[in-house]
A and B are shown apart, each in its own frame.
Chain A
């Protein structure tokens, strides 16, 4: 069978792209709040104002001539990340994990010459990675020293945790692990592994790569469902808080675990992808409808997290 029967998918509550766009993004995400999440610099500033931890901001580059200040900006640092403020789908993110005598290296060990970095930033500024080709700003961030709990689970990259937050309730979660195929990036369509996480505990449930289920990490052969994400409560709280901050009803939050700083909010997404359903082996619709039908309007972050943990957990509570 090449195609699933639409009825079977409906029965399992699978959310399709068209329905997501019309019934969730179109209905719950107001256009005027998009800039809060589409512009990562704005998100960062908002997060800081709301006491949400984010990766350190080294600097920004807004003009072509400021590119030459990059070497002094990243001076004395082991690594850094350059990303377009309005990039989408993980495009245009350059990660440098090693700096040696003015030589820059990507996570896979390939060298990046200073002129390549210059060109990359120049591309960012002229809007190559932003939607509609708008001129953009390049953000230079500190490298995240990621938590060793994921050692052996991720190949050359930062594993990140995606939580779908619907009207403030974390409804579904996924851990994204980079692979050799994804070139150290944690984007599922580029070949990263997605591990569905239990909302109650942060326990791995089910894993996929390229939209197909798998058990072991393709590069490290570790069993993926054995993962237990630490700081789970903080992650849920951060994600839930992002709702008040962004005022977007249907929101994707991307977070990373830093060894010293704990969970950091990387970015928010007003159009989160649907692959999280495959990673969880479950459809989103039943949970979204559950939240839609709730009468109790105003709940605090803590109440929402507690509610989500009891109602959206797939495992018997720990």
Chain B
């Protein structure tokens, strides 16, 4: 007798692989664990406008690149303009160009964004030490004083930035600071002081996302490097850290909009909040990334819907194995209930049950006539198949005439299976009587109903199609049940006289 260890290791591996694949899919690909989950999305429109001077015009506009928001769809409309999107060292940007721009010009960029929850801005690499700012002679002494005073009150780069930010927004600022702020903007001064102390810091522009806002402008922030992360500061109000609804539009520290060959350029933003299905969103995102690895969504729609049905079969099979091995219910034909359950999915349960009983009852009646004809088995079965098709056709027509649209779904029943069921039931009836027919037929319908209930649950359908790893888990469970040597539930009843009670 060989060891069962390899078997249990295999089962454990299947189980772990299945769970791990599902969790990976849920967390890494944002596939929702429950069906019908919703996510918020933002539709942001940027309108770039300028006055053309009649000369060739070239407009360069930075595009958002923010780990906290994933871009679902983006497009730029610009009739009469050539357009190209580049993603390089200077960040993502769109360039519109035209030979001749006269009068008011409007260019649009639309983007749909989904929050990812990754609010930290991680640095790809250690930034270079910044160049110290050359203070003008009039400011040098004041700046030195402010910096050294704050330096003495801080311990780290971060706390220096915090203290600096605080003193910028103190109710009573030092005279030195007031002097410096007359000739420098807050953000500029903030960055210059940090840079003078060798702390990497740069300007970023962000957009506050608020539902149904129009004509919004970008706000300037400062990001300060600290231990592998960029921390957002707002020297204008003294706050630190990024608000959830802040979309960082441009981190290049260069101007967001450059217009050559135009005047009075400006950009306005309008935005709208929207809810959409989490599943559809994650599929769109995967498509954008071209990362549909091992997802059935790569298949054409027709094959997808085919697979939606096929992938339910393991659930039905699992149900049959459980009910037969652990519970001990008798069915006619091992997996016939699964096929009936698949048909129930198309017909819905009640219509399916009624339809099934009608077809089998009619079939049995006609079969009892056929049995008098003394036919060979193969031609008898064939005759039953044709009769079953006839019955299905008849019921479909009748229900259509009576306006019962449910009756039309009866065509989804697998005819060959029905024919064999009728044949088996008929033999069973002759051999063992009506009672056994009821037991086995009832058992089959019971198993089919349970399998249907399992297969028609929305979250089951969601899981088997979106988390393919779950099939490995089912396989592991089926293998495990194949090793079950304990009593079946119904055996506990059957062997009751042997319990010695």
Binding site for B on A (CB under 8 A): 1-6, 8-9, 12, 14, 16-19, 22-23, 27, 64, 91-92, 115, 118-119, 122-123, 126-128, 190, 208, 211-213, 274, 277-278, 281-283
Contacts and interface: CB of A to CB of B under 8 A. Distances in A.
Nearest to A91: B431
B377 A126 contact: yes
5 contacts: A4-B499, A4-B501, A18-B486, A118-B374, A119-B371
A22 B483 contact: yes
Contacts of B489: 3
Contacts of B431: 91-92
Nearest to B496: A4
What is the predominant secondary structure among interface residues of chain B facing chain A? helix
Contact of B497 (A92, A115, A278): A278
B377 A5 contact: no
Q: Which of B485, B495, B499 has the most CB of A within 10 A?
A: B495
B498 A12 contact: yes
A278 B483 CA distance: 25
A1 B484 contact: no
A8 B374 contact: no
Contacts of A5: 492, 499
Contacts of A281: 497-498
Given A4-B492, A18-B485, A18-B487, A9 B499 contact: yes
B137 interface: no
Interface string B372-388: 00101110000000000
A38 to B, nearest CB: 18
Contact of A213 (B376, B497, B500, B501): B497
Given A4-B492, A4-B493, A118-B374, A16 B498 contact: no
A19 B471 CA distance: 27
A8 B501 contact: yes
Interface in B1-57: 1
Contact of B493 (A2, A19, A122, A282): A2
Contacts of A3: 489, 492-493, 496
A19 B486 contact: yes
Contacts of B486: 6, 16, 18-19
A306 B374 CA distance: 52
Given A8-B499, A12-B500, A18 B492 contact: no
A8 B500 CA distance: 8
A122 to B, nearest CB: 6
Given A18-B484, A18-B488, A212-B497, 13 more contacts: A2-B496, A3-B492, A3-B493, A4-B501, A6-B486, A12-B499, A16-B491, A17-B328, A118-B374, A123-B377, A128-B377, A128-B427, A277-B495
Given A3-B492, A16-B491, A18-B488, A278 B498 contact: yes
B483 to A, nearest CB: 7
A249 to B, nearest CB: 13
| A-B pairs, 6 with minimum CB distance | A126-B377, A4-B499, A19-B485, A8-B499, A16-B487, A3-B492
A192 B500 CA distance: 23
A237 B468 CA distance: 57
Contacts of A212: 497
Interface in B125-182: none
Contacts of B401: none
Contact of B495 (A9, A92, A127, A190): A9
B289 interface: no
A70 to B, nearest CB: 14
A14 B451 CA distance: 31
A221 to B, nearest CB: 21
A213 B489 CA distance: 20
Contacts of A283: 498
Contact of A208 (B377, B378, B432, B497): B497
A211 B497 CA distance: 8
A11 to B, nearest CB: 8
Given A3-B492, A17-B488, A128-B427, A122 B377 contact: yes
Interface in B445-501: 483-489, 491-501
Contacts of A122: 374, 376-377
B189 interface: no
B286 interface: no
B408 interface: no
A67 B496 CA distance: 47
Contacts of B280: none
A163 B492 CA distance: 24
B368 to A, nearest CB: 13
Given A123-B377, A128-B427, A18 B494 contact: no
Interface in B344-388: 371, 374, 376-378
B325 interface: yes
Contacts of B501: 1, 4, 8
